[in-house]
Structure 1
Amino acid sequence: MSAPVPKLVSMTLPYTAVLYDLDGTIADSAPAITASLAHTIEALGLPVPPASELIAWVGPPLPQSFEVRLGLSGGRLDEAMRLYRAHYLETGALESPIYPGVPDLMAAVHAAGIPTSTATSKPETPATRILVANGLDRYLDLITGASDDEVRNTKADVVAEALRRLEARGADLTRPVLIGDRHHDVEGAAVHGVPTIIAGWGYGDESEYAGAVEVAADVDELAALLGVTLLRGAA
């Protein structure tokens, strides 16, 4: 008697599209960002906050931080952004080490056939430089971020643009998820009904995790939550 033919089991992945934050999720970009912030604030003739305060600027849109934290507006805000962009692009855009294991995670998501895009408040030009320099663009279908003029800069607007671009490519958006590390990731994604998984290795603290569906302590936990197999060193 012939052996029974095994039944094929179709695994349904928990999410149909993955959006990645960049700063504090893929890349440890705080040192480069805070150095450019200190340079900018000093050039404006203002007292430079301590590093412990500048770290809170990393992640949210910088124009908003300059407005809220320094009270800048109009031409003064434009000057601050011009100074910051010039310094960051010249000295810091590529000096953002990638968190250990994240390339393997991104490779596993890509290998599983899940559509992906970044959804970062960082403008697309420096975001693209970081991703391409580290060979991570090959694991992304799209690189979506703030517009270079930062007219599109809120997380909600960036998530909307990432979803729009993925939909235009025919991606299944029935169950998208955002991977981020700060409260503005959670809140911005929620505007569009997108759940957020917190990257616990990022810059946010526990007070910023409210509203997230999960918190992943490391990339192994994140891979399990996404339903993908993580192969160390595969990236």
Structure 2
Amino acid sequence: MPFSTILFDLDGTLADSLPDIHHSVDNALAEFGLPPVDRSVAQIGVGNGVMNLLTTAVRASFKSAGRTDDADAWFRDNSGKLADRYRQLYASAWKTSTVLYPGVTAMLADMSAREVHCFVVSNKPEMFCRDILSFLGVAERFTAIIGEDSCAERKPSRIIWKYLSEKYSLQAESTIVVGDGQADFAFAKNIPCSVCLVRYGITPPETLEALHADHYIDAVSELKKIIAR
């Protein structure tokens, strides 16, 4: 059965955004007297919400500084202020180098021509999702844009699917989740629906292949072959 609905992740799937995220994390840490972290730390933390990203970064920062005190206890005491500052820094940083992956604009136009309904379901705050997609010129291609703060719970919670399916009369059997992370895979399983994982994104391909998804692609141009099946 051909797919008529696609639920896209954003970071690592539609947009190459890791450099700006990493830069903002390091700047936020520095303002709290913590050393910077390796790009791979931000890579691990992306995809499960801001708090998970910052928790991962603080733990790595403590380790690199040789600190023996409890990183998690520090984070509990400072998480609100750190998250607020990260969001402020990221708001002015994401335009620096965030771009769509090659072929995304053409792929979205093709999906529109096929009358496939496209949605974004991200664990990035909704405001950033909307601003980034608008800046990159593709926001109008999506029926709805969901961020980590759009529903009562974030991805991979089935609450998001319940909201979208009821509001837009979506059917699981004609829906596919397209993403680059474990949260996307889990989201599809919770719906349940088909899932396509992209090997060009933020999560290492070997991590994704261990999940045994229904489909894998190495470029967004390959998606049309899956949709038309």
TM-score interval (norm. to shorter): 0.7 to 0.9
Alignment of 1:102-121 (within 5 A): 102-121=104-123
Work out the CA distance in 1 between the residues paired with 2:191 and 2:161.
11
Q: Who is 1:100 aligned against?
A: 102
Residues 117, 143 of structure 2: 8 Å contact kept: yes
Q: Who is 1:191 aligned against?
A: 190
Q: Who is 2:208 aligned against?
A: 208
Between stretches 137-146 and 119-128, larger displacement belongs to 137-146
Larger Rg: 1
**What 5-or-longer segments of structure 2 have no aligned partner?**
60-71
Q: Who is 1:57 aligned against?
A: 45
**What 5-or-longer segments of structure 1 have no aligned partner?**
1-11, 229-235
Residues 16, 173 of structure 1: 8 Å contact kept: no
Determine helix, strand or coil for the equivalent of 2:145.
coil
Determine helix, strand or coil for the equivalent of 2:15.
coil
> What amino acid is the match of 2:88?
A
Work out the CA distance in 2 between the residues paired with 1:181 and 1:86.
26
TM-score, scaled relative to structure 1 = 0.81
Work out the CA distance in 1 between the residues paired with 2:76 and 2:38.
25
Determine helix, strand or coil for the equivalent of 1:59.
coil
Aligned residue pairs, count: 213
TM-score, scaled relative to structure 2 = 0.83
Q: Who is 2:85 aligned against?
A: 83
Residues 19, 116 of structure 1: 8 Å contact kept: yes
Q: Who is 1:122 aligned against?
A: 124
Work out the CA distance in 1 between the residues paired with 2:219 and 2:31.
38
Work out the CA distance in 1 between the residues paired with 2:126 and 2:95.
11
CA drift of 1:135 comes to 1.7
Q: Who is 2:142 aligned against?
A: 140
Alignment of 1:163-178 (within 5 A): 163-178=162-177
Determine helix, strand or coil for the equivalent of 2:21.
helix
Work out the CA distance in 1 between the residues paired with 2:203 and 2:148.
20
Deviation per residue, 1:146-171 (Å, 9 max, x gap): 117x9643x213x6325523431233
Residues 43, 203 of structure 2: 8 Å contact kept: no
Deviation per residue, 1:157-194 (Å, 9 max, x gap): 3x632552343123344321110011221123312213
Q: Who is 2:224 aligned against?
A: 223
Q: Who is 1:27 aligned against?
A: 15
Residues 94, 130 of structure 1: 8 Å contact kept: no
Structure with a larger share of its residues in helix = 2
1:64–1:58 distance in 2 versus 1, CA, 3 Å: closer
> What amino acid is the match of 2:222?
E
Residues 119, 162 of structure 1: 8 Å contact kept: no
Work out the CA distance in 1 between the residues paired with 2:36 and 2:215.
36
Work out the CA distance in 1 between the residues paired with 2:56 and 2:37.
14
Determine helix, strand or coil for the equivalent of 1:60.
coil
1:64–1:169 distance in 2 versus 1, CA, 3 Å: same
Identity %: 22
1:68–1:201 distance in 2 versus 1, CA, 3 Å: closer
1:54–1:215 distance in 2 versus 1, CA, 3 Å: same
Residues 25, 54 of structure 2: 8 Å contact kept: no
1:25–1:83 distance in 2 versus 1, CA, 3 Å: same
